[in-house]
Structure 1
Amino acid sequence: MAVIATLADVRDTDPVDLTPLQSTVDPEELDSLVRVRNGANGDTHVTFTHEGHAITVHSYGMVAITPEHELTAEKYERGEGR
């Protein structure tokens, strides 16, 4: 739920207007991979794309969302897209 809520906030839209997350990733599997862990276990994170955005979910609770076009521009500026 946190991923869709955060994405809806980034896109300034209602969460029900977004494509269901399960069309991209299994939400139960995502939850099991990124359960909040204590600091001794380090960070586990998962990155995937949904609704034209790269989404990274960290086990310590952070959700990072970047529009895919920004990632493409960054790669091009570094010379990786040529």
Structure 2
Amino acid sequence: MAVVATLADVMDTDPVELDPLHSTVDADELDALVRVRNGINGDTHVTFTHEGHTITVHSYGVVAITPEHELTAEKYERDEGR
């Protein structure tokens, strides 16, 4: 639920307008992999793409979302600096 809510917020849209998350990732497996931990065992995270965005879900509760076009622009800018 947190991924869908955050993505909808980033995209400024209603969550029901998004493609179902299960078309990209198994939500139960995602929950199992990144279940919030106490921090002693370090971070576990999963990264995947959905709706044109790269999404990283961390076990410490953070959901990071970046539009794919921003990642491409950043890579281009780094490559130009060589």
TM-score by length of 1: 0.95
Distance (Å, rounded) in 2 between the aligned partners of 1:76 and 1:33: 32
Distance (Å, rounded) in 2 between the aligned partners of 1:30 and 1:18: 18
Identity value in percent = 85
Count how many residue pairs are aligned between Structure 1 and Structure 2: 80
Q: Aligned AA for 1:56? A: T
Distance (Å, rounded) in 2 between the aligned partners of 1:27 and 1:56: 13
Shift of 1:11: 0.6
- Structure 2, unmatched stretches of 5+, are none
Which aligned runs of 4 or more in structure 1 are off by greater than 3 angstroms? none
Shift of 1:39: 1.4
TM-score by length of 2: 0.95
Shift of 1:65: 0.4
- Aligned-residue RMSD, C-alpha: 1.0
2:26 match = 26
- Structure 1, unmatched stretches of 5+, are none
